Structures are given as structure tokens and as C-alpha cells.
Chain A
Amino acid sequence: MGSLFRSEEMTLCQLFLQSEAAYACVSELGELGLVQFRDLNPDVNAFQRKFVNEVRRCDEMERKLRYLEKEIRRDGIPMLEIPGECPEAPQPREMIDLEATFEKLENELREVNQNAEALKRNYLELTELKHILRKTQVFFDEHEGGANTTESMTRALISDDPNRHMGHVQLGFVAGVILRERIPAFERMLWRACRGNVFLRQAEIDTPLEDPSSSDQVYKSVFIIFFQGDQLKTRVKKICEGFRATLYPCPESPADRREMAMGVMTRIEDLNTVLGQTQDHRHRVLVAAAKNIKNWFVKVRKIKAIYHTLNLFNLDVTQKCLIAECWVPALDMETIQLALRRGTERSGSSVPPILNRMETIEDPPTYNRTNKFTSAFQHLIYAYGVATYREVNPAPYTVITFPFLFAVMFGDLGHGAIMAAFGFWMCYKEKPLQAKKIDSEIWNIFFGGRYIILLMGLFSMYTGLIYNDIFSKSLNIFGSSWRNNYDGSTLQSNQLLQLNPDSKDYLQYPYPFGIDPVWQLAEANKIIFMNGYKMKISIIIGVFHMLFGVCLSLWNHLYFKRRISIYVEFIPQILFLSLLFFYMVLLMFIKWTTYGATPGHFGSQDPEIVKTSAFCAPSILITFINMMLFKHDKNTRPQCDDFMFSGQMFIQKLFVIVALLCVPIMLFGKPYFIMREQKQRARQGHQPVEGNAENGTAGGAPVPASGHHDEEITEVFIHQAIHTIEFVLGSVSHTASYLRLWALSLAHAQLAEVAWNMLLRKGLMSNDYQGGIFLYVVFAGWAAISVSILVLMEGLSAFLHTLRLHWVEFQSKFYGGEGYLFQPFSFEIILDSAGQAEE
């Protein structure tokens, strides 16, 4: 049996590996990705395991690679993707080579960086000095200019000096550069600490300078401080130091300054050439590294993953071999054996590894093989709960029912086509889109569900055709079966007119596919007609869906050999559901086939014909309620029958009684059988009996000790009561719940109609050329609303409702969902997740 219907059969295996061959074997298994290893030393600390040193070396290598990558990114050098196949995990001895390569690269790079930083620092200092010389020139010019503010202030400062002419010459000064944002605090502090006895001038450097340690662009300012006396000098210098201002010597005489500026300029020139060479060297190193870096990352990560796995293994007493326990799919034993043999050959070991099957009472993990088409659907199921081991997997049925139920709610040919086109585009461009690795979470959700979207779109187009609904309008493909025979004046003078099916208005044969487009014109009763149709359809689909769910539970019972459950759970459940709700569905069909407005009935006064006319058709809802209450209403119309068919009353009473009788069977049946069995077993003295599979496991569960009987029985009773109540109440509420199919479909149709009437119709009403311009604008609005609200939002809401119908209404009938997922050791998964974490 294909594993699509059930999860794969798993076996627990014990694996004996030669110490020398273990690495190669695990590497082969990692490429295969079919084996889940179990941790055999869970209480050993991470750092006390055997291969912790190797793991640590890999960590170290990864750190170096990350450093390299950071540097490569900083220089904007493109990193080459790995061409073709992923590199295999290298041999352990290759690890030393790799380590050496990385070590060398890192050291080289660090050295280059250090040199570059020193050079840049030098360069920065020189540039700052250049700016200082240039800006201070202005200060000094002003200073010497004579009768300006500077002059007057210096005079005020030294007013007690008798020799006024020499005054300003004795002023000391320091010049430096400071971060621009620190200027206000710096100025305030200077003022406070020196009691206002200093004079600060500052000018901004327009071009940003590069900070050598972080290579950020920073803005700085040049300042010059004038003061008098040595004490103030030390104080000013201390403050400058505190604010990390760099001070530069600045000669007093203009000639010296000019000379110095010249010297600085030449040194900057020299430095520039050296800096360029350093950068070139760095670039060469990085370009060489960028070619291989992805490849190295993959290698290192593979080695690390292998050693992590080896850490899960047990060492046997002789230290000669490693013992592993693993879950493997039973069907893949051959492939795994082959991989192990390959691994042994590669390592050159002579002793083949041994793969032993083990008996276990543990629940194996759930593993469903998927392809790119089914995996999205399988994930929808897993999102609710991972299937119990080997239970029926609803995913294959979901592939069809999910898009179908969605389409019932989203039935519109136009919107469906948009959705299908989007889905088709994603499927068609699958490979290039996948290779792009787009980060956006929303995009990834859409892209992951591309096949679901495509199917949902296609199914919506189909239901849209059935509803005859395209952007809230109808298509008249085959020609309507109705004709208008009223003359012009009648049409002019009447608001509402009826078409009589029992006249020439109706061509006597129905519209071949879907709803007749004539209903588009029926403003008064279109909604009423569609509601009746869609509601009944919803209930019919719902009841079939649920019945199918209950039937799937039979497969589960048969597979797990739960004989009693078939008799006291499955049979009563299916009886209950079909006698009440499937009967209601039958009534709908009877009503559709028996009653009609076809000619020969309508105008006729023949009592037999009147009884089968639409005039006499009973309400299904009222009939069903009466059935449950055991009463029957006299038909208010004297010419009609009370019943739809003869013996209806008797059959209905019988059905209800049988259905109600099923409830106590569901409630007490299973606990009773379990109790009886336990008593028997107690009498026979704890001999295992044939039917102990009630516990749910197919394997032989241990016989419970007799001391726990009472508690267990009450537990079984409570459990069963909950299940019964859930089923009985559930079948009512779940049936009603399927009405959401109708409700959402109605809402969608109405919204689409509002969008059409409020927007596009307004744009189409005008006749002259302005109408064209207006239409141009209005169409944009209508299209935007159609896509954003009607396709995206409505689509999302319909999707969620469909999900609910599957999780709750369908799966509650058979799905346990108590398993855990099979997580194989696979390089592919490990590399993917490592790559994602990095981004």
C-alpha cells in the first residue's frame, strides 16, 4: 500500500559501526536523509561527549569563515554560488588542511586590516591637520585684522597687563579636532571649568571623515582655544582629552603654517598610494576567498553535523565500534544497507557495519513521503496535528476536497481565473523563483502553497461556471431557456413581471450547464432562489464529507484490529448520521424530483397533478423538525398531501428511534466490553487474550495490573462519554457548520455585485468621450478592489473556513493526530536551516 494513504512503516534498528568507518557511514546516511538517530546518552553533558573536540574545531572554523564572509560583504564582492552538486563531506584528515587554510587566510586578512587601519589613522590625522591649518588661517587672519571682535575680547581678558601692545602675543592657544555633536557640551564645560577665561572658535569640516576602527563616516569640527597662562593650559588640555578631541601642533607664524601645510599635503599624497596598494592586496585576498567560501561553509557544516550525530552514539566496551539506534522506514532498509556499504568501502575498513532490527513497544515516528505537489497539503494536515503512527492520512483526499470546498465559497469565474493565473505563474516559474530565495515571509507562504492556489483557482472557475457568475455578471453561452413575451408597453409600465414556466416563456428544456443566465435579470427573487440552491448544496456536500470521514474511521479500526470499536463505535455512528442527516439529504432529492413547475402540472386542475406541483412542495426544514418531534402538521393547503411518499411517517419514526438507540450503544458499549474482558482475564489468571488490542497499539501492549481496574474503567467511561457527546452534538452542529459554504458564497457574490454596481457601472453609464476618461479612472479602482478585497481578503477568509471544515468537521470523525514527526538526519535540511539562520 502506498504510503500516501498511511504513514510509512518504521522499524527501530541498531547499528554497529567500526570506529574507523563510522564517519564515512554517517556521512553517506546524511546524504541519504532517511535515518533518524536517537540520543543514546541523553544525560551526558554537551561538553562531555566523545567528539566534542571535533565539534569545537568546526565551531572555530565556522567562526573564521563568518569573519571572512563579513569582510567579503563589506567590500561588496559577489560570492559564487556552488556550481552544480553540493560538495561531499570531506574526510576527517582533510579537516586539518581546511583548518590550516582558514587559519592562514584569517591571519593574512587580520594583518592587512591592521595595516590598513594604522594607515587610515595616519591618513585621518593628516587630513585633520590639513583642515586645522586651513581653518585656523581664517581665525588668525581675523585676529590680525585689528579692530574686530576678537581684538576687543583679547584686550578685555588682559586688561590688567600694563603693556597693551604686547598683550595678544602672550596668549597661548591650542588647536584640535572634535566630533561635531560633542561641541555644545565641550564649550559649556570649558566655560565652567575655566570660569570664562578662555576663548573658543570653531569651524565645521564640511566633508565627513572616516573613522578608522569602525569605518563609519563621522562629521567633525575644528576648534581653536585661546587662553592665558600655564594653569589654564593644563586644564584645557585635560578637558580636550576628556572629550576625545585630538590636538595638533599649530605654528604661530603664517609662514611656518604655510610650510607645514605643504609638508602635510605631500605626506597625504604618499599615504594615498600606500593605502591604495593595501586595499588592492586586501581585495585580491578576498576575491580569492569569495570563490570558495560557500563551498567551505557547506563542508564545515557537514563535518559538524556528522560529529554531532556521532555524539549521539554509544561506545561499546572494547572501544572498537560505535552503537547507534535509529528509526528507519522499513521499505528503505536496502538503500540504507547500500549506503552503509559505500561508506565502509570509502573508509577502507574491512568489517561491514551491522544493521539489526529491534523489537520495541515505543511508538515509531510518523513519516509520510511527499512530493512537491502533496507536501503543501500534508503540511495543512500536520498544522493540526501529526498523524498517529500508521493511521489513515487525510492528505490525499484533502488534495481534492480542499480546493473544492474552497471553490464552493469562492465561486466566481473571473476571480478564480485571477487566482489560477497567479498560481500557474508560480508553478511555471518554480525553479527560477526557488533559486531567488526571497526572504519575505508572506511571499514564502504563497509560494509554498502554489499548487494549492492553482487548484483553488481552477476549482473556483468551475464552480463559477456552475453559479454562472463572473465578476457578478452571467455568461449566456448556450442561450437562455427563457423568453420574454411581454409587449413593450407592459414592460414600460410595470416594475416587476413574472415569467411563467408553464407557458411559452419557458422553452421546456433546462439550461445545459449551471444556472440559467436569466436569473441575472431577476432582481426580486434571484437571492431567494440562489439561497435555496446553495443551502441545500452545502448540506448535501457536508453530509457526504462527514460520512466519508466516518468511513475512514472504519479503515483505522480494521487496520488496528479494533473489532469492538467497529461494532460499538463505527456502526452506531454511521447509523446515527445516515438515518438522520443522510435521510434529510434524500428528502431534498425527493423534493427536487417529485415536485416541479413543468407544464401539464401548473394550469391543470387534476388533483393528482396538483399534488406534485411546486404549489404543494413541503419545506424540508419543517419536515425534519417535525420528524425529530414525532409530530405531523396537517398541510394547510387542502388540495395537497400531508406526506411526500407513503409510509413516510412510519419510516421517520423508525429512523429516529433507531438513531436514538445508537446513542447508548456508543456510550456504554466499549466500556462494557472492556470490563467483561478484564473480568475474564482475571478469571483465567492474567493470560493475554486475543483482543487486547483495544489499547490502540497494534503491538502487544503489556497487560495492565488488576489493581488499576477501577480507575481505568472510570477513565474509559469518561473518555467514552466525551466522545459520544462530541459526536452526537457534533453531528448537529457540524451539519449546520457546513452552511458556511452557502454563507460565504452569498457574501462573495454580493460583494462582487456591490463593487460592480458602485464603481464600474457608474463608469459605463456615460456616453460621450468624458465617460471614457471617467471609465479609465473608475476601472482602476474597481480592479484594485477586485484583487485586494475580493480575491485576496475573501480568498483568505474562504481558505480559513475551508481549513476549519477539514480540521474540525472532517478530521474529528477519524483523526487522532497524536504522533510525532520523523526527523531524519539529512544534510539538505541542516544546510538549509543554517543558511536561513545566517540571513
Chain B
Amino acid sequence: MDSLRIVPGREAKTATTQDTSNSFGLHDTLQYGPRSLAAEVSTNSNIKDRLENWEATQDNLKLQMHRQVFGLHMPMRLMMERKLASYNPHMPVLQQSNVHLDILMGRDETLDTADFMMPTSEMKQPLDIHADMEKKLRM
């Protein structure tokens, strides 16, 4: 964590927890259906890892540089401000936007595909409020 990595490195993944695991750590058949081979076999894809870890790596680089210049307190304060801004006491509803967090993360002036390609009125997802609240409160 003390390193100044510019781009995500290639990590050898050995143990992974599935996305479909329930609180026992096993595959949740009731929610996701029977187990499938396609979901369980994991192929090492360099470009996929690189793209997935890109933003986090750039963010870590900036925080590490701030730590070197300003002192140990700086990344701590920045993370604290982000945590405070992301506090959301409401139930997970469809439309959520957090301008304060966007500004802190530096993406208030950027547009991503999700921002203009998916009108939220057409995005009908099954509202599993119980599962969403469970995930939220456990964090």
C-alpha cells in the first residue's frame, strides 16, 4: 500500500468468494438458481483486471503522493471527508445522486456513459428491499 503504482499490476488470484454466496458462504440457490459452471470457472484476464482496478490505482497513487508531501494526516482526512459525504440514511431507492461525493472524488465535471445512456425511468430492477438493506447495514 506504500507503493507508487501507476497502473494496476497483475495479481495472481488464488481464493475468491463467489458473487452468489449467501451468509453461510455457499451458493445461494434460492436467490440465484442452481450452480453453473460458467459462473464458477474464473479465467485470469489481464485486461479485465487492469480496467477494473484502474480508478482505484489512480486514486491510491494520488493519496500516496499526498501522504508523502503533506503528512500521514492528509489521506486520512480525505478519506474521512469521503466517508462523511457518502453517508445515506435513506432506504436504497432507484434514483440516488450524491453531488458532494462526486465533487470530492473529482468527477463532478465528467460524464460517463451511464449518465446519459440509461434513463432511470426505463431501468426497472426488481426491488429486493430486504437484501439491499441487509447489504447496506452490514457495511
Does A associate with B in a complex? no
Contact surface of B with A, Cβ cutoff 8 Å: none
